[in-house]
Amino acid sequence: MSLWSAVLISSALVYSWKLFGYLVPEKFVSNPKIKELAALLTVALLAALVGIQTFASAEGLSIDARVPAIIAAGILFYLRVPFVVVVIVAAAIAALIRLLV
Amino acid sequence: MSNKQQSVTAVSLGVGFATGLYGISFGALSVAAGLDLWQTMALSLLMFSGGSQFAFIGVIATGAGVVPAILSAWLLGVRNGFYAIRMNPVLSVRTLLKPVAAQLTIDESNAVSLLGEPDKRKERFGFWLTGVAVFIFWNVFTFVGAVVGSQIGNPTDWGLDAAAAAAFLGLIWPRLNQSKLLVLAVASAFVATSLSVVLPAGIPVLLTAVLAVVFWLVGMRGDPK
């Protein structure tokens, strides 16, 4: 299979999940219990991404420049600093630590 | 425009820009993995789901071949289906617009929309603005990354991996003042991170959906509404 076919097939498969969700009958999903589940799923999946994005590396788990960056991000979010500022500061902290260490 | 609407606008554009910056990293890594500029752009335009895109090029980079790459991208995309199920009744768009809404249904648009709860108008506004903003920034920056990628060096030198982690944290942050969601978030992060050592990319994140269901069932028993 060529790389181009793989790009197109996988894009279609990823899109099919997105479209599938819109074809589930509304009657089923407008139930408050289902909405509650959807909110829980969102938090669980995104928190999982935070963990993996912070600790996972090619060699397994590691504690590196990302950890102080994410701790700083948590503190800044707590202080209600705007989203985009926090993200840039987190990147800068990680970059600076890697530059110096 | 009300105050609250303005804050949704600020969050949407901030999220769009920050996520877009991470697109530089994707563009650079994709070209490094052996895709050409147009294959890289096809992924950002058509697949348009960061996790799946990184998984795809990551597997290609290891030389494992196209079939594992397709499967990883596909598995990582499941969560967009969950988001779509949530967004469908909120948006209640006409059938013709559903394919467009579907393409914009990603982590960021769903999360910003969730912040608008229970105000349906804010939920819709947050979804569309964030979805369109991320789509534009993500594709422009993918292009930049793919073109200048080899000159900027390793994206991690710029802390772009930490930026992605911080962005995901920011998306759930406003929800973490509820103790149940805070406990779920900590448990999910712990479980997924631990399992990522032994399971293929994408699976550990999906397994935390099981945790969410457990919390949901426990909540229903303890809270008979």
**Residue A23 lies inside a defined structural domain of this protein:** no
SS3 B124: helix
- For residues B168 and B200, state if they share a domain: no
Containing domain of residue A89, as a range?
Answer: 63-101
The CA-CA-CA angle for residues B167, A46, B163, to 5°, reads 20
The answer to the question of residue A86 being in a domain is yes
Residue B82 is encoded by which pair of tokens? 């969950």
Q: Is the Cβ pair A48, B188 closer than 8 Å?
A: yes
In chain A, the number of structural domains is 1
E-strand ranges in chain B read none
The 10s digit of each residue's pLDDT in B181-202 is 999 999 999 999 999 899 876 6
Q: Do the domain assignments include residue A42? A: no
pLDDT of residue B6: 64
For residue B155, give the nearest of A72, A74, A53, A3 by alpha carbon.
A53
B128 and B182 both lie in a single domain: no
DSSP single-letter state for residue B106: S
Here the tokens at position A11 are 């894009």
- Same structural domain for residues B166 and B182? no
Total tally of structural domains belonging to chain B: 2
A81 within domain boundaries? yes
Residues B36 and B144 reside in one and the same domain: yes
Reading chain B (225 residues) residue by residue, the pLDDT tens digits are 455 566 889 889 988 988 888 888 889 889 988 899 999 999 999 999 988 898 888 778 777 788 888 987 887 788 899 899 889 989 988 888 999 999 999 999 999 998 888 899 999 999 999 999 999 999 999 999 999 876 777 778 888 888 888 888 988 898 898 999 999 999 999 999 999 899 876 678 878 889 999 999 998 776 544
Which of A7, A41, A98 lies closest to B157 in CB terms? A98
Q: Is B48 left (phi over 0), alpha (psi -120 to 50) or beta?
A: left
Q: Which residues of A touch B188 (CB under 8 A)?
A: 43-45, 47-48, 51
What chain B residue is nearest to A94 in terms of C-alpha separation?
B159
- Boundaries of domain holding B66: 3-172
Q: Is A9 on the interface with B (CB under 8 A)?
A: yes
Write the pLDDT tens digit of every residue in B89-130: 899 888 889 999 999 999 999 999 988 888 999 999 999 999
Asked whether residue A33 is domain-assigned, the answer is no
The reply to whether A28 falls in a domain is no
Whether A9 maps to a domain, the answer reads: no
Q: Indicate the burial class of A34 (C-beta count within 10 angstroms; 0-12, 13-18, 19 or more).
A: middle
Beta bridge partners of A38: none
ipTM above 0.85, yes or no: yes
Instruction: Return the structure tokens found at B117.
Output: 């709860």
Amino acid code (one letter) for A20: F
